[in-house]
Amino acid sequence: MSDDAPPADEKISLYVWPHFWNLPSFDIESLAAILYLQLAFRHHNHKHEHHKYRLVECTDPDVSPSGTLPFLVHGTKKVSTFHGIVRYLESLDMGLADEGANKEGESHAIRRAKRVAWTSFVDSQLKDLVNHVLYAIPENYRKGQHTALVAHLPIPSKYYLPQRLRAVVQASLEPSGLWTVKEEEEVVKKHPFDKEKVKDVVEEKDSIIREAFGKEKLVHKARETLDLLAPLLKKHQHGHHQHTFFLSPHPTGLDALIAAHILILSHAPLPNNALLPLLKESYPAIIEHSEQVLAYAFPSEDNAEIRADVQVVQVPHANPVVQLGRSLGRILHSVVPVQA
Amino acid sequence: MSIPMPTTLQRFYSLFPLHMYEQEQVLPTSFFFSNVSPEASEAGGYQVEDIAPDATLFIHPPSNPNQTLLSSDIECVKWQAYLALRGIPGGVKVRWDLANEGAVGGRLPNLFLPVPKRLAKKEKSGEPSKARMRGELLEGKRIPSWVNGEIGKATGGEEGDEELEGYKDKDAQNESKAWIALLEGDVHAVFTATAPTPSILTKITSFDLSNTREKPILSTTFTGVSSMIPPFGSTAALEPILGRYKETIEALSVRLSHDRWFLGSRNGTALDAIVFSYLFAAMESSNTQVREEVCKWANLVAWEKRVRKMVENATSLRGSV
């Protein structure tokens, strides 16, 4: 089965979760993919290899072959997950180049190997921490991810899709003990005529202590993770500018991934965010790096000629009948083996 | 006034004899600390044999006990390799007559540290040994701290060495954490995704009482997540998982290049044990793609062979119970 690469003039389409707050996407992996593509294409446009891509804002994860956004479509080829997208673009020579030796004299291949390890570390440890802040703390989830999702989803999806997505995150946080939601905390006084619940004083003190311990545990875990990432940040001099990137003298996929996590933490209006003060106090370099990557990826008006050429499109959510048909089709497909 | 048991009943009961096993000695830890005199610590004389006589690791049974003593479960191989590579003198004995549910923490492997017989007899004078044999069963998580403590004292290394757990320097130790996250995340997902699905008969007849949960791998539900039908079932998204696996193996091979141990350590470390266990599992896997990916890299194959020999030499089967 030969896999012919699509012709170079085929447009690349990146399907992501839509924008919210003042970020191109409210989902971590989608934001990382957007940052990567922006950086890569800006890098290539700078070298006068003109590339364009299409950013498709999508709210239906079932469109993707792996069931998660982001995913990339190039001709007939569909690639999902951030790592898959980075790998694919590098195979087409459209990714971020990382040539030359760095300060420690490490070769490009060793740096690449280290990058694979560190991206996986970020994917497991840092993502768990950020997901805990975004999904496991009820008031954060209500004001943060839930609001963002519901703003873009139509009826009836907006009544069940956010809970299902939250359940997926819950399943990934439970093994590491980072899911600490208790069901009764979720009850909010809905009806204005409901009588105020008379809480037991002891119960309230218990919940305050529990919350304080939970925060301490979270901050402690975050410190462990960030203490391992902070030493990787190195300053490099390029002409008049001084840049800081992780591991390499040039921006790479690792920078895009870490920046996406930090940007969501700092830009989302979360009422109970214990990690942001920690970052501002002990790791300001990491916040600065993420803002720098965002500025690099989306430069201001005066640098318009080295901006990536992107066309933004919105794909409407499929209507329920179509979705039902699609689901039944998938069930049939898995039950009845299709002869190739 | 007791009624004697009728002989028929006695004969019937003799068909089901009651076996009594000798009780394993469990002594409280404080017993040892009071025994250690200050003169002994100055005189030194800490004997290497005191560390771990008869330390036994309870593991999952190996797939072929005649050929190899390495377990068929990745977690057990990890600890077998760790104990062998860190240099427990006298090697480690293994046995597999304990089930997962009976283990401490609900998960094999467990390390059993018996009390040495000479310490059990209090009248032995001479130099009181500093051995801290406890007659304990340690679960997986507690093994490294025990090893670090005992090995550090036996080899007489400086304080710094013990801190670094065998790595070259602090940077290497930090990097090892990233590699461990990579192996236990992306590579482990491949094994979960390509594990052979058990037949319906085995599913019905086997009890799985384990309550340890693992991180879920990338998978789609049968019906999709955004339709009105509640999602059920799951199929692993093999393409991204295998793609990432290929990237990982390539990175491992490049990072190892021609070193003797990963990250240039002097002797085997925890990272080497974990890498070995995953490479071993990949070579034994029934999935051709998983196996071939490792076979592509000659340095990894040679390294795995060498370490396998080391671990097998250090492991021995415990005598009959």
- On the 0-12 / 13-18 / 19+ scale of CB atoms within 10 A, A217 is middle
pLDDT of residue A121: 93
What is the spatial distance between Cα B90 and Cα B93, in angstroms, rounded to a whole number? 9
Share of chain A above pLDDT 90, in %: 17
What is the spatial distance between Cα A93 and Cα A11, in angstroms, rounded to a whole number? 15
A111 found inside a domain: yes
What is the spatial distance between Cα A228 and Cα A232, in angstroms, rounded to a whole number? 8
CB A161 within 8 A of CB A148: no
User: Closest Cα to residue B111, out of B318, B319, B320?
Assistant: B318
Which range is most confident: A68-72, A324-328, B157-161, B207-211? A68-72
pLDDT of residue B5: 84
Average pLDDT (B56-68) is: 77
Q: Which stretch of B161-165, B178-182, B227-231 has the lowest confidence by average pLDDT?
A: B161-165
- On the 0-12 / 13-18 / 19+ scale of CB atoms within 10 A, A211 is middle
Chain B CB contacts of A82 under 8 Å are none
CB A39 within 8 A of CB A297: yes
Are residues A87 and B171, on separate chains, in Cβ contact within 8 Å? no
Q: Provide the pLDDT confidence category of residue A82 given band limits of 50, 70 and 90.
A: very high
Are residues A323 and B227, on separate chains, in Cβ contact within 8 Å? yes
Mean pLDDT of chain B: 75
pLDDT of residue B248: 93
Number of domains into which chain A is organized = 1
Nearest CA-CA distance, residue A191 and chain B, Å: 28
Which range is most confident: A227-231, B145-149, B230-234? A227-231
pLDDT of residue A120: 93
Domain edges within chain B: 27-317
Q: Provide the pLDDT confidence category of residue A188 given band limits of 50, 70 and 90.
A: low
Nearest CA-CA distance, residue B80 and chain A, Å: 24
Average pLDDT (B37-58) is: 49
Any B CB within 8 A of A329 CB: no
Chain B CB contacts of A331 under 8 Å are 222-223
For A280, A340, B64, the CA distances from A125, given in Å and listed in that order, are 19, 41, 36
Strands B56-58 and B110-113, bridge-based pairing: antiparallel
Mean pLDDT of chain A: 80
What is the spatial distance between Cα B113 and Cα B52, in angstroms, rounded to a whole number? 7
The predicted-structure confidence for B66-105, as pLDDT tens digits, reads as follows 777 788 888 888 888 888 888 776 677 888 777 777 777 7
Any B CB within 8 A of A62 CB: yes
Q: Residue A261 belongs to what domain range?
A: 12-100+107-183+198-335
Average pLDDT (B184-209) is: 81
pLDDT of residue B317: 74
pLDDT of residue A5: 53
Chain A CB contacts of B243 under 8 Å are 83-84, 87
State pTM to two decimals.
Answer: 0.82
At residue B217, the 3 state secondary structure works out as coil
What is the spatial distance between Cα A316 and Cα B273, in angstroms, rounded to a whole number? 50
Q: Provide the pLDDT confidence category of residue A202 given band limits of 50, 70 and 90.
A: low
The predicted-structure confidence for B11-43, as pLDDT tens digits, reads as follows 898 888 888 877 766 555 444 433 333 433 333
Strand partners, A72: A14, A79
Are residues A124 and B181, on separate chains, in Cβ contact within 8 Å? yes
Average pLDDT (B164-171) is: 80
Q: What's the DSSP call for residue B232?
A: -
A13: left (phi over 0), alpha (psi -120 to 50) or beta: beta
pLDDT of residue B60: 78
Q: What's the DSSP call for residue A236?
A: E
pLDDT of residue B2: 80
Identity at B99, one-letter amino acid code = A
* Other Cβ atoms closer than 10 A to B169: 13
A188 found inside a domain: no
pLDDT of residue B321: 34
Any B CB within 8 A of A174 CB: yes
pLDDT of residue A116: 92
Which residues, 6 or more positions from B280, have their beta carbon under 8 angstroms from its beta carbon?
Answer: B70, B77, B304, B308
**Residue B160 scores a pLDDT above 60:** no
Candidates B168, B221, B227, partner chain A, best to mutate (most A CBs within 10 A): B227
Q: Provide the pLDDT confidence category of residue A238 given band limits of 50, 70 and 90.
A: low
Higher pLDDT, A146 or A327: A146
**Residue B149 scores a pLDDT above 90:** no
Q: Provide the pLDDT confidence category of residue B130 given band limits of 50, 70 and 90.
A: very low
A2 found inside a domain: no
CB A156 within 8 A of CB A320: yes
Any B CB within 8 A of A102 CB: no
Chain B CB contacts of A68 under 8 Å are 218
pLDDT of residue B303: 92
What is the spatial distance between Cα A262 and Cα A32, in angstroms, rounded to a whole number? 11
* Other Cβ atoms closer than 10 A to A201: 8
What is the spatial distance between Cα A201 and Cα A206, in angstroms, rounded to a whole number? 9
Average pLDDT (B194-210) is: 76
The predicted-structure confidence for B216-269, as pLDDT tens digits, reads as follows 778 777 777 777 778 877 778 888 899 999 999 999 999 988 888 888 888 888
Average pLDDT (A205-211) is: 76
pLDDT of residue B40: 37
For A40, A79, A94, A95, B67, the CA distances from A50, given in Å and listed in that order, are 11, 22, 11, 13, 59
Average pLDDT (A26-54) is: 83
The predicted-structure confidence for A250-305, as pLDDT tens digits, reads as follows 888 999 999 999 999 999 888 888 888 888 999 999 999 999 888 888 876 555 55
pLDDT of residue B305: 92
Any A CB within 8 A of B141 CB: no
A323 found inside a domain: yes
**Residue A153 scores a pLDDT above 60:** yes
Nearest CA-CA distance, residue A186 and chain B, Å: 22
**Residue A196 scores a pLDDT above 70:** no
Q: Which stretch of B117-126, B134-143, B196-205 has the lowest confidence by average pLDDT?
A: B117-126
pLDDT of residue B236: 81
Q: Which stretch of A39-48, A210-219, B77-86, B176-185 has the lowest confidence by average pLDDT?
A: A39-48
Average pLDDT (B164-188) is: 87
Any B CB within 8 A of A65 CB: yes
A1 found inside a domain: no
At residue A78, the 3 state secondary structure works out as strand
Which residues, 6 or more positions from A163, have their beta carbon under 8 angstroms from its beta carbon?
Answer: none
Chain B CB contacts of A333 under 8 Å are none
Chain A CB contacts of B248 under 8 Å are 116, 120
Are residues B247 and A116, on separate chains, in Cβ contact within 8 Å? yes
In chain B the beta strands, taken as DSSP E runs, fall at 56-58, 92-95, 110-113, 136-139, 219-220, 235-236, 315-317
ipTM of the predicted assembly exceeds 0.95: no
Higher pLDDT, A101 or B230: B230
In A2-88 the beta strands, taken as DSSP E runs, fall at 12-16, 52-57, 71-74, 77-80
Share of chain B above pLDDT 90, in %: 13
Dihedral of alpha carbons B63, B64, B67, B68, sign: positive
**Residue B46 scores a pLDDT above 70:** no
Candidates B175, B188, B226, partner chain A, best to mutate (most A CBs within 10 A): B226
pLDDT of residue B43: 37
Nearest CA-CA distance, residue A125 and chain B, Å: 8
Any A CB within 8 A of B225 CB: yes
A123 found inside a domain: yes
